[in-house]
Amino acid sequence: MSKADVLFINMCNEILEKGYSSEGQIVRPKWEDGDPAHTIKSFGMVNRYNLQEEFPALTLRPTAIKSAFDELLWIWQKKSNRIEDLNSHIWDEWAGEDGTIGKAYGYQLAKKYKFPQGEMDQVDNVIWQLKNTPYSRRIMTNIFNFADLTEMNLEPCAYSMTFNVTGNKLNAILNQRSQDILAANNWNVVQYSLLVYMLAQVCGFEPGELIHVISDAHIYDRHVPIIKEMISRPQFPAPKVTLNPEITDFYQFTVNDIKVENYVNNPQIKNIPIAI
């Protein structure tokens, strides 16, 4: 069975059984009808995914792996904040009149800084270090830029990646300040697992571990019955996910370079209410 399913079920049970409810507090998010969107949360959730063992896609419901990959490429490869550069419409509600999401996500990764090896952006710096100083303990990115927060249409949720090479394996830690577990958890896990796959391939390593650290892991009140039904579903083996082995340049990957095989899963959950 998929180990990602087991981790997800354990996480959801911990939140539901031991989490803290925001009922009675003033909260920012609201439902479409205007009611406050309360949550049950756990602080400091940590999940470890061994990418050597399997690709961590849920089978409790399908994750749109190629769409998740497309968004990852939009942020990390295109370094774009323009919604017209993204094939899906998941960012449309956050776009301003200029068609961008402000100085967030891809915009931050495109900013150039003066590094010891020259001026470059954060992504190029990660690639340079993995190829030239792979055992450095300073290989990381951070897009939670306080100087630009007021010009971001949404402050970054997944804000930092730290990379670490052990032997011939590339490991990474994804830091996330907040996560809607039902709507976004496996989406982000799939994305950043693929990022590790990409960087490992072009820099001469094997994918190792992805550690996902969530400061505020929460389930919205209107998601509780959906989550309970979802984690009671049957589980299936994880799918096989591979990248085109001929790609050696990070900037040459496309959505067509990902192959998903044997993805057996439960039915999709539709019409999930989203708090805004």
**Which pLDDT tens digits describe the chain residue by residue (276 residues)?**
899 999 999 999 999 999 999 999 999 999 999 999 999 999 999 999 999 999 999 999 999 999 999 999 999 999 999 999 999 998 998 999 999 999 999 999 999 999 999 999 999 999 999 999 999 999 999 999 999 999 999 999 999 999 999 999 999 999 999 999 999 999 999 999 999 999 999 999 999 999 999 999 999 999 999 999 999 999 999 999 999 999 999 999 999 999 999 999 999 999 999 898
Question: What one-character DSSP code corresponds to residue 33?
Answer: T
Please tell me whether 220 is known to bind a ligand. Answer: yes
137 carries a ligand binding annotation = yes
Q: Does 112 fall in a domain?
A: no
Q: Is 180 annotated as a binding residue?
A: yes
- Cα distance between the two ends of the chain: 34
- Asked, for residue 106, whether it belongs to a domain, the answer is no
- Whether residue 233 is annotated as binding a ligand: the answer is no
Domain membership flag for residue 46: yes
Q: Which of 157, 183, 226, 274 is catalytic?
A: 157
Structure tokens given for 63: 């994750």
Residue at 89 is within a domain: no
| 87 appears as a binding residue in the annotation | no
Kindly state whether residue 82 falls inside one of the protein's structural domains: no
**Is 108 inside a domain boundary?**
no
Q: Which pLDDT score, from 0 to 100, does residue 84 have?
A: 96
Query: Per residue in 60-89, pLDDT tens?
Result: 999 999 999 999 999 999 999 999 999 999
- pTM of the predicted model as reported, rounded to 2 decimal places: 0.97
Is 12 catalytic? The answer is: no
Residue 177 is labelled as binding a ligand = yes
Report yes or no on 69 lying in a domain.
no
Alpha-carbon torsion, ordered 98, 252, 138, 132, to 10 deg: -140
Based on the structure, what is the number of domains in the chain?
1
CATH number, domain containing residue 237: 3.30.572.10
Asked whether residue 204 is assigned to any structural domain, the reply reads yes
DSSP 221: G
Q: Is 223 annotated as a binding residue?
A: no
Q: How far is CA 180 from the centre of its chain?
A: 12
Cα–Cα distance between 51 and 39 in angstroms, integer? 31
The residue range of the domain holding 242 is 3-63+118-146+154-261
pLDDT, residue 276, reads 85
